[in-house]
Amino acid sequence: MQTDIFFDAVRQTAWAEGMPHQRFVYVPQPVMGKSPQELRAYLDGNDPITGRPVMEEVIEALTKPLTETERQAVRFDRSTPRDAVAESEAALHQLFMDSHWTDYMPIILPTEERVQEMLAGTSRRPDEIVGRLRPTSTREAWQFDVEKVAINAVMAGAKPAYLPVILALAASGVTARGSTTSSAASMAVVNGPIRRSIGMNWGTGALGPYNHANATIGRAYGLLSQNLQGGSVPGHTYLGSQGNNYAYNSLTFAENEERSPWAPFHVRHGYQRYDSTVSCFSGCRATSYLLGLRRDHWQEHVTNLLRGLNPHTPPTLILDPITANLFVERGGFDTPEKLEDWIWEHAKLPASVYWDDQLIQNYVYPRAENGEKPWADYLNAAPDELIPMYRREDVHVLVVGGETNGYWRIMGCNYGRTVLVDDWR
Amino acid sequence: MGAVRALNPMGYPPDVQQVQMAPRMGTLRGKTVYLVDARFDDSDIFMQQMEAWFRDNRPDINAVYVAKRGIYTQPDPELFARIRDEGAAAVVGVGH
């Protein structure tokens, strides 16, 4: 059973799973929030796709003998041609747009010559396999090589010197074009010497459109994600109800290691200061912000920000160096781990409110039922008992900004992994 | 005017292996049909209403509501084995 809005995605997914004739019955969207009586009316009514009675179709799907077509062997013939050809440059641009290969901003056409120039940015062979990407965990993963990543890097307007970072992003396995109905974007944070050698911005305006490397690496991350995973097409391979403007650049910036009071993010995750890395975060949707940390009530102000986030998506603090130093001064957080501890301890909700959240019902409650900790420990909490909104290991801190003021923000997001850029030079 | 050529930016899709559909049993009379709640956004209420529909309209069919374990993206091998051993068919829903 499915709701009708997902007709195309359902057929496509069933085909890719080897079941092109799988029988489905559809009811109207939405199901969420409807009363039992309203949902019964769906079942007593007609399938919005076929116009036939829903339950008649259900019984028929289970009892009607397989047709000749359903019994036949199917040829799953698909491949990716190396070339894209059109009668003119304008027609080729149109072909890229019509094929859903762009982000609808102008691209650089990836001619053989331009791709060759891009490939000079790495010592890796063009046909070396880089990895696999998929729109979500339940969909098929597509594979790609170095040349395919370089093609997307050209389209984004990147320079060959950026290619190792872009290859590392592609190798992360973390897509920047998740298909989730929640309209999430990704975030990419670069650490180490390559930040400086390719001229990235970690100061004023680092998260904005003010730096060529930040802008085009982030755009390349998005383009390569949608194309190398097999698409990000609304209704088919993208289902985000509202979409997400962060997806244009995937929140790509370098950490301000020079002005941070703490060890850089990558060093806290097992790398050396001289290593160059990129760290991928997903699920970026919610952002809240604050100016500085007031002497008397900073704890309440920060706690209010945390309470404003959805309990399913943990907080990553994105701190201007001014505020990072204020956290050291006000709270005595001489390491970021101490600040993360404090955040985890203060991000709490009454158990009844926590468990009633729709996302917690969908994604956490079933895991708690299966005995997964720490959530299983909270199942018996009294309704008014305050329980942690997040797991401690999911809380993170980053430092970026040019110290024009002490504004800082909390990004609700999930840390995926850190990839060594040096492996892709 | 000559053709203009660029390189295709798409990745390489995996091979697809066809999964044969199960033969249908002709009738559900006297048989057990599992109505599996996929655990997504109130699908429990929907599938319970389906169970009520069977009770009201097809009492000759033993329709059994059951919620799968784990989140909707995870398989539930124990339940799937139970359906295979004890059931004639299953309806899984609701995807939305």
**pLDDT at residue A425 in the model:** 98
Q: Which of A8, A107, A130, A362 to mutate to test the interface with B (most CBs of B within 10 A)?
A: A362
CA atoms of B62 and A358, how far apart (whole Å)? 31
Question: In which region does residue B93 sit, left (phi positive, over 0), alpha (psi from -120 to 50) or beta (all else)?
Answer: beta
Q: Which of A92, A362, A367 sits opposite B4 (nearest CB)?
A: A92
pLDDT over threshold 90, residue B95: no
**pLDDT at residue A204 in the model:** 98
Q: Nearest residue of A to residue B43 by CA position? A: A31
Q: Nearest residue of B to residue A89 by CA position? A: B4
**pLDDT at residue A31 in the model:** 95
- Give Cα A292 distance to the centre of its chain: 28
Q: Which of A110, A138, A230 sits opposite B73 (nearest CB)?
A: A138
CA atoms of A141 and A135, how far apart (whole Å)? 8
Residues A21/A70, Cβ–Cβ less than 8 Å: yes
Interchain contact B80–A (C-beta under 8 A): no
Q: Nearest residue of B to residue A90 by CA position? A: B4
Closest approach of chain A CAs to the CA of B72, in angstroms?
8
pLDDT band at A353 (very low <50, low <70, confident <90, very high): very high
pLDDT over threshold 90, residue B41: no
Decide if B11 and A92 are in contact by the 8 Å CB cutoff. no
Residues of A in contact with B53 (CB under 8 A): 40, 43-44, 55
Interchain contact B66–A (C-beta under 8 A): no
HSE of A398, CA atoms in CB hemisphere, 13 A: 30
Number of residues in chain B:
96
Residues of A in contact with B11 (CB under 8 A): 80, 133, 142-144, 148, 227-230
Taking only the tens place, the pLDDT of each residue in B42-76 is 999 999 999 999 999 999 999 999 999 999 988 99
Residues of A in contact with B9 (CB under 8 A): 96, 101, 110, 148, 151-152, 155, 223-224, 227-228
Decide if B70 and A370 are in contact by the 8 Å CB cutoff. yes
Type of residue found at A51: G
Over residues A19-30, mean pLDDT? 96
Q: What is the mean pLDDT of chain A?
A: 97
Q: Which of B1, B11, B33 sits opposite A230 (nearest CB)?
A: B11
pLDDT over threshold 90, residue A51: yes
Instruction: Please tell me the least confidently modeled range out of A260-264, A305-309, A386-390.
Output: A305-309
Residue A150 CB neighbours (<10 A) = 32
Among A115, A120, A209, A197, residue whose Cα is nearest residue A155: A115
Residues of B in contact with A78 (CB under 8 A): 13, 16
Residues of A in contact with B18 (CB under 8 A): 18-20, 73-74, 76
Residues of A in contact with B5 (CB under 8 A): 83-85, 111-112
pLDDT band at B1 (very low <50, low <70, confident <90, very high): low
More confident position, A75 or A393: A393
pLDDT over threshold 70, residue A27: yes
CA atoms of A320 and A204, how far apart (whole Å)? 10
Decide if B11 and A2 are in contact by the 8 Å CB cutoff. no
Q: Which of A70, A112, A227 sits opposite B9 (nearest CB)?
A: A227
Interchain contact B43–A (C-beta under 8 A): yes
Type of residue found at A190: V
Q: Which of A18, A88, A91 sits opposite B17 (nearest CB)?
A: A18
Q: Nearest residue of B to residue A114 by CA position? A: B6
Decide if A230 and B10 are in contact by the 8 Å CB cutoff. yes
**pLDDT at residue A75 in the model:** 86
More confident position, A109 or A307: A109
pLDDT over threshold 90, residue A78: no
Q: Nearest residue of A to residue B49 by CA position? A: A40
Residues A322/A405, Cβ–Cβ less than 8 Å: yes
Decide if A110 and B9 are in contact by the 8 Å CB cutoff. yes
Taking only the tens place, the pLDDT of each residue in A224-252 is 999 999 999 999 999 999 999 999 999 99
Decide if A22 and B24 are in contact by the 8 Å CB cutoff. no
Closest approach of chain A CAs to the CA of B35, in angstroms?
10
Residues A19/B21, Cβ–Cβ less than 8 Å: yes
pLDDT over threshold 80, residue B96: no
A343, two tokens: 């955040």
CA atoms of A168 and A179, how far apart (whole Å)? 21
Query: pTM score, two decimals?
Result: 0.95
Decide if A22 and B73 are in contact by the 8 Å CB cutoff. no
pLDDT over threshold 70, residue A174: yes
**pLDDT at residue A295 in the model:** 96
Type of residue found at A248: Y
Over residues A319-341, mean pLDDT? 98
Name A130's Cβ contacts closer than 8 Å, sequence gap at least 6.
Answer: A144, A145, A146, A148, A149, A167, A170, A171
Residues of B in contact with A73 (CB under 8 A): 18
> DSSP string covering A231-296, please?
---BTTTB--SS--GGGGTTTEEE--TTT-SS--TTGGGT--TT--EEEEEEEE--EEEEES--TT
Among A228, A232, A230, A231, residue whose Cα is nearest residue A145: A228
Burial of A403 per CB tally in 10 Å (0-12, 13-18, 19+):
middle
